[in-house]
Amino acid sequence: MAGGKESPRQKLIGMMYLVLTAMLALNVSSAILLKFQFIDDSLTTVNAKTNQDNSGTLRGIKAAVSESGNRAQDTRVVQNAEAVRKETAEITAYIHGLRAELEKLAEGRDATTGAYKNPENQTGVAQLMVGEAGNKKGKGYELQQKLNEYSKFLNQYNTNVPAKLAQDGDQDPRVKNNKEQRKKDFAQLNFSETPIVAALATLAQMESEVLKYEAETLSQLAQKVGADIIKFENIFAMASAESKTVAAGTKYKAEMFLAASSDAISPTMTVNGSTVPVKNGRGQIEFTASAGDYDAEGNAKKTWKGTVRFRQANGQDTTFNVTQEYVVAKPVMQIQSATVNSLYYECANELSVQVPALGALYDPTFSASGAVVSKGPKKGDVSIYPTGRVVKLNVSSNGNLIGSQEFTVKAVPMPQVVAYANGQPIDVKRGMPAPGPRVLEMRAIPDKSFAEMLPKEAQYRVTDYTVYLVRGTRPVLTLESNQPTINLTRIAELARPGDRIAVEVKEVRRRDSRGNTKPVGANVQDLNLQLN
C-alpha cells in the first residue's frame, strides 16, 4: 500500500498506520488494545470525510460538463468518473462487510464504555482472514485479489496508482528487509496473530488508501473537463497613482481598473524574492524602505519586483511578474545640542537626534568614525566622545541607515590658574602685608562657555607646583605641593617686608565625565606676591 504525493490528511493516516504496525510488535495489553480502537475510530472518521469529498468531486465534474454543453468528450469523462465511484463503492462495501464480521467476533461494543467486549480474539481473526495453515482460504486472500484488481482498474485513468495495493511481505517496501516478516504473504502479514481491534484498524487504513487514489483519479478526470477552471467570484475596482502626494499646481495622475480574485485558488506571491502573505487573493506587501542615492531634493527612486503564481486547470503553473516604482524620501534629522556644529575633543558631548517623520517607529542606533558613541537614557539621546579631529555620526533606525552628520572637533579651552588666600583671589598688584598668607590655594578656573556647555567635563585641579620665598634675587625657602592647598607657615615665620612669594605651576589636570584624568595646558601668569 503505497502512494506518491499525499495530502496532509493522508500523511496523518500513514503516520497512524506506522503506529499501528509498531504496536503489533508489542505485547498486547488492554491499554494497547484500546489505543488500536482509537486509531480505528480516527481512520474511520477521516475515511467518511474523504468519501464525501470524492462525491463532491464527481458532482463538480457533472456540473462542469453541463455548463460546457455536455460535449461528447466531456460526457465520456463523466462516465469514467462514475465508473471509478462505482468500483470504489464496491471495494469499500466489501471492506465494510469484513469489518462487520470482525465486529461480530468482538461481540459488539459495551453500551457504557464503547469498547469492544472481546477486542483481542486473535484466533477468530486468523480463522476468518487467514484460514487453515497452507490452504489460503481466508478472506484476507480474497481481499488481496479485490484490492489489486481495483488498483489495476484505476491505473487506466491514473498512472500514479501502484500496480498492486495489496502486497506480500517480500514485495512490501515496509517489511521486505525484515527477515521474519518478508516470508509472510499479504493475509499473514496483516491478520496473523492480530487482535480484532488491530485488524479493524488495518482494514480502515486499507480503505483510506482506496479513497486516496480515488480522490487523485477523480481530480485528474476533473481537469480534463475544466472542473478546475478558475472562476473569479470576487470582482472589485482598484486604482494606482503615480504618487499620493502632489504639490499645488501640479497634475495628479492615476489609473483605475477592475481586478478579480477567486476563492478556488491559493496563489503564492513574492516581493523581491521573499514570500508575502495572501489575504482574500491579495498579497499583503510590507517592507522597510532603505536609504538610497538621494537627489538634490532628498528623494531616491526605487523599484520592487513581485510575482504572482497559481496553477491552471491543465496542471501548469502560471506566473505573472509585477514591477512597481516608489520613492524614498530622506528623513530629516534634527540634532539638538549646545555644540551642534563642533564637538570638544575627548569630552562626552551630549546630543539629541530626532527624526519626526518616523514617529513611533523611530528606534535609533548610532555608530561613528573618529569617536566613541553610547546611547543615552531617552530615545534619540547619544553621547559622542571624539578621539579624532573629525567625527562622522551615523544614525540608523531598525537596521536601516537614516543619515550621517559630520562634526569638526575643537580642543578644550585652557583653564586660568588663580591663587587664593582667605577664600579670595590674591591681588598681585597691591601685594599683602608681611608675613603673608598662612594658607595658599591654587585653583584652575575653566573657560566660562565651556563650563556652561559641558559642566561634567570642566573639572580641573592644580596637581604640581612650587612656592618660593624670595628675598631680593635669592630664594630663601622652597616648598613643593601636589595638592590644591599648601600651608605657608614656614614661609610666614621667615618672611620680612620687601620679600616676595613666587609660585611656579608645573602641572594642571582635567578630570572628564568618565573619570579619566590627564595633564592639560593652562593659562598661568607669573605669580609674584609682594609682601609690604
Query: Which alpha helices (DSSP H) does 28-182 contain, by range?
Result: 30-67, 72-105, 122-125, 139-155
Give the model confidence (pLDDT) of 323-356 as tens digits. Answer: 887 777 666 677 776 555 689 999 999 999 998 8
pLDDT higher at 229 or 231: 231
Give the pairing type, strands 282-283 and 278-279. antiparallel
pLDDT value at residue 315: 58
pLDDT value at residue 229: 53
Name the region of 56 (left: φ>0; alpha: ψ -120 to 50; beta: rest).
alpha
Question: How confident is the prediction for the chain on average, in pLDDT?
Answer: 85
Q: What is the mean pLDDT of residues 210-231?
A: 82
Taking the alpha carbons of 275, 280, 281, 282 in that order, is the dihedral positive or negative? negative
Question: How many CA atoms, within 13 angstroms, populate the side-chain half-sphere of residue 229?
Answer: 11
Pairwise CA distance, residues 449 & 455, whole Å: 10
DSSP 230: -
**Number of neighbouring beta carbons within 10 Å of residue 281:** 19
DSSP string, 304-341: EEEEEEEE-TTS-EEEEEEEEEEEEEPPPPEEE-TTSS
DSSP 531: B
Pairwise CA distance, residues 126 & 100, whole Å: 15
pLDDT value at residue 473: 87
Kindly report which listed range (3-17, 131-145, 161-175, 324-338) carries the lowest average pLDDT score: 3-17
Kindly report which listed range (97-106, 198-207, 219-228) carries the lowest average pLDDT score: 219-228
C-alpha cell at position 207: 480503505
The reply to whether the predicted model has a pTM over 0.85 is no
Pairwise CA distance, residues 464 & 507, whole Å: 5
Confidence of residue 433 (pLDDT cuts 50, 70, 90): confident
CATH class of 334-410: mainly beta
Pairwise CA distance, residues 125 & 105, whole Å: 8
Give the model confidence (pLDDT) of 485-517 as tens digits. Answer: 999 999 999 999 999 999 999 999 999 988 899
Confidence of residue 18 (pLDDT cuts 50, 70, 90): low
Candidates 37, 76, 18, 81; CA nearest to 55 is 81
Give the model confidence (pLDDT) of 434-457 as tens digits. Answer: 898 999 999 999 999 999 989 999
Q: What is the mean pLDDT of residues 176-194?
A: 88
pLDDT value at residue 25: 44
Give the model confidence (pLDDT) of 378-395 as tens digits. Answer: 999 999 999 999 999 999
Q: What is the mean pLDDT of residues 22-33?
A: 58
SS3 362: coil
423 Cβ partners below 8 Å, 6+ apart?
A: none
C-alpha cell at position 170: 517480500
Candidates 203, 151, 191; CA nearest to 44 is 203
Task: Assess whether pLDDT exceeds 90 at residue 155.
Answer: yes
Q: What is the mean pLDDT of residues 6-19?
A: 61
Give me the helix-helix angle, 196-224 and 8-24, nearest 10°.
160
Give the model confidence (pLDDT) of 129-148 as tens digits. Answer: 998 876 888 999 999 999 99
3-state secondary structure 373-407: EEECCCCCEEEEEECCCEEEEEEEECCEEEEEEEE
Pairwise CA distance, residues 4 & 285, whole Å: 35
Q: Which residues of the chain are in CATH 2.60.40.10 domains? A: 334-410
Pairwise CA distance, residues 467 & 449, whole Å: 31
pLDDT value at residue 482: 94
Q: What is the mean pLDDT of residues 372-378?
A: 92
Pairwise CA distance, residues 43 & 50, whole Å: 10
39 Cβ partners below 8 Å, 6+ apart?
A: 16, 19, 20, 201, 204
pLDDT higher at 48 or 17: 48
Q: Kindly provide the b/e burial profile for residues 353-384, where b requires at least 16 CB atoms within 10 angstroms of the residue's own CB.
A: bbbeeeeeebebebebebbebeeeeeebbbbb
Pairwise CA distance, residues 333 & 165, whole Å: 71
Q: Kindly provide the b/e burial profile for residues 433-448, where b requires at least 16 CB atoms within 10 angstroms of the residue's own CB.
A: eebbbeebbbbbebee
